[in-house]
Structure 1
């Protein structure tokens, strides 16, 4: 990083930033000079990856007071949030007839309510400046339904609807709102899902993992750094006309 790095002086906030896609995005932003706040429910996980421009703050995206207080503290320490990355999410599936209301509400509270609360808390800082970027991490499940994952798919569809509505509401102003829609990414979520699929179906863990690999059009897991590169593009020079988009990162056309 040099003094003329692309994002020097910008403050970015990434939810679910301690692992996987969130951590890859946080590191990419920090490498470009941004002051990055990462959040998650476990302070120990955040502390383990903090440093070099990355600052961890425990936060539960399901809790409005937790979100508001944590974002306010981050703004006090590092200035207005101009890059907001609602990434925190739960990727779990049940068939509808096996989905109880508690499971449904927890998925929605984390994946959709959490994004809404985070964006809402960060928006005032953007509106007080002359630049802002919101990049929500949705999924290909936000563009087409996935079998056995109705709650997850609905939450990710809702997230894209939120982003599209915000892009219309602030049209012509110096802020953009976009969603990234990855297929299966090589993160701990895939590791957990392979175990769940194997337990549910009786197949081997290797075959369960291959099932997810085969769901990506190019037949490989996506690297988290590929998603981070797309996020950098959306905050980089010349990105101001990319707005209200749901950008697929899935190895080919999926919807």
Structure 2
């Protein structure tokens, strides 16, 4: 089994984990549709890589997801590797969480994952092989202090993946979630500022708090997450199905 020539779709593929995943898949011969809300960011990410194909898509908009994936399928064939990665990571105490904040987190992290998988499956089901690898979080397998909405959304992603793995048992399709700890991306940089302001600590102290949350006391490289996704799409992983694989430097 090889992924060469297969159509992959990675949401949030213009930056961070998504871009690392897209590059890894393209490096092994896949034709990768990378989606995001900003054309300029996607174009820069593609940057002459013949295996990366930008497509503007807003995962919080059902119509946008359906139209963008349909167009990608019409151009590059059925989606056989679906990586719902786009997400927002923000914490807020529950008593300070209004409905607008709750819906924004759920709309991106859970609704967006649901729509992306549903629309990709419409074409994948007609193919002879397929992989869905959702990017969840360690917050999808444990409660993250001060981030009830985020934790709930990522638990929802893991639940969705586990249910789909049961629905498609015995088929050539597998469904798994990758659950990273703190990854060295722009999201961490933004969270440093939020923690600094909320906790009244320095930027270095805020960064140290996130580094310390990973069991091996360092930030995770996006390429480490990409390697896990690549493995789940490669030979020897056929019996890995319905799993939430933690990438956090140790047990939680």
TM-score normalised to structure 2 length: 0.98
Where does residue 141 of structure 1 map in the other structure?
139
Aligned to 1:144, the other structure's residue is in SS state: coil
Q: Give the aligned partner of residue 184 of structure 1.
A: 182
Task: Kindly indicate whether residue 6 of structure 2 is the aligned counterpart of residue 13 of structure 1.
Answer: no
What SS is found at the alignment partner of 2:217?
coil
Residue 169 of structure 1 is matched in structure 2 by: 167
Residue equivalent to 2:68: 70
Residue 248 of structure 1, aligned match among 239, 246, 249: 246
Count of residue pairs the alignment pairs up: 250
> Aligned residue for 2:123?
125
Matches within 5 A, 1:40-55: 40-50=36-46, 51-52=48-49, 53-55=51-53
Over aligned residue pairs, what C-alpha RMSD do you find? 0.9
Separation in 1, partners of 2:232, 2:34: 19
CA distance in 2, matches of 1:19, 1:56: 12
Matched, 1:31 2:44: no
> Aligned residue for 1:157?
155
Give the superposition deviation at 1:244. Answer: 0.1
- Which portions of structure 1, spanning 4 or more consecutive aligned residues, are displaced by more than 4 angstroms? none
1:49 to partner: Cα distance: 0.9
Instruction: Classify the secondary structure of the residue corresponding to 1:135.
Output: strand
The unaligned stretches of length 5 or more in structure 1 are: none
Q: CA deviation at 1:79?
A: 0.8
Q: Could you give the per-residue CA deviations for residues 164-215 of structure 1, whole angstroms, max 9, x where no partner exists? A: 0000000110000000000000000000000000011110000000000000
Deviation at 1:6, TM superposition (A): 3.5
* Structure 2 counterpart SS, 1:180: strand
Deviation at 1:126, TM superposition (A): 1.3
CA–CA distance in structure 1, aligned partners of residues 189 and 57 of structure 2: 24
* Structure 2: runs of 5+ lacking an equivalent: none
